[in-house]
Amino acid sequence: MSRHHSPGPARPSDAPRRRRRLRRSVAVGALALTTALTGGAAWALDRFVIEHVEIADVSAVEEQDVEAVSVPDGAEPQVTITSGTVGEGEDAATYYVADLVLDDITQLRSAFADDAFGENIVELPSVIAESVGASLAVNGDYYGFRSTGIMIRNGVAYRDEAAREGLAINADGTLELYDETTTSAQQLVDDGVWQTLSFGPGLVDDGEVVAGIDQVEIDTNVGNHSIQGDQPRTAIGMIEADHLILVVVDGRSDESAGVTLPELARLMADLGATEAYNLDGGGSSTMVADGDLVNDPLGRGSERGTSDILYVG
């Protein structure tokens, strides 16, 4: 894969490289107290901490269910990583762009933490990336935080619980915003959808910034009440078929303030995206290249665990 890196911040030398399972710091002690908990506390532990594995070997499922994809011999994604700044003074934010030119959309893949599908299964993005040999990766939509959304990854339908505006990555290399409640996972697979993402909102549609995104809330439940304000962000956009951009914006630090959703949408449009979609953000916003952090999540030089990544090999 050809790659060009523009100058960026120093990358931490102690980035985790060994494969290990990530546990929330409260998990071990909390599990020991499970039998003593009652009512809401036990529910919260089960809902947000305890792993619920539905499929333990995703790779085997995908090898069995997906027809072999054909990419021309010698084909190699072209990846260019650049950085920039939006805003001024205390409102300035640093962003990173991975510009992807693909031979075929199947070169953009998804991977799950621990190669397992379910809720509350998390690993560091760099660990997931290493496990699949990814040369470039960003965090996905943190599907494992919720039980809703249409979820298709690498051509396989894993979940069919329509809930929100989703993003379809089509077999022809295009991106399309869609209403999950108007279709089904099986219909999308039959139509050739390669990936779906379920977080949002949509940022750019047909070259125009989507109106009203400054009022959208996602997963307004325990611990995740709003996605508004200046925040670290991750987004995916399409320049044209098989030409995509993955964007990560740092935030919540003295060096980078983060951006609002309208500011993120404007950035995506200014970068040339005709379609763009917001992914999980905050401490999850991470870009990894060749095993190293490109950005600085939350200004601390380390990563936070997530349930999935988007990557190229």
| Domain assignments of the chain as residue spans, ordered by start | 2-11+18-312
How much is the pLDDT for 223?
A: 46
Q: Can you name the residues that pair with 300 across neighbouring β-strands?
A: none
Question: Given this model, what pLDDT does residue 298 score?
Answer: 81
**According to the model, what pLDDT value does residue 73 have?**
65
pLDDT value of position 65:
76
pLDDT of residue 224: 46
CA distances from 34 to 53, 121, 157, 261, 300 (A): 18, 18, 33, 39, 32
Query: How much is the pLDDT for 113?
Result: 98
- Exposure on the CB side of residue 198, measured as CA atoms within 13 A: 25
Prediction pTM value: 0.85
User: What residue ranges of the chain have pLDDT lower than 70?
Assistant: 1-39, 43-48, 67-73, 218-226
The span from the first CA to the last CA of the chain, in angstroms, equals 8
pLDDT at site 284 = 94
Distance CA 313, CA 297 (A): 23
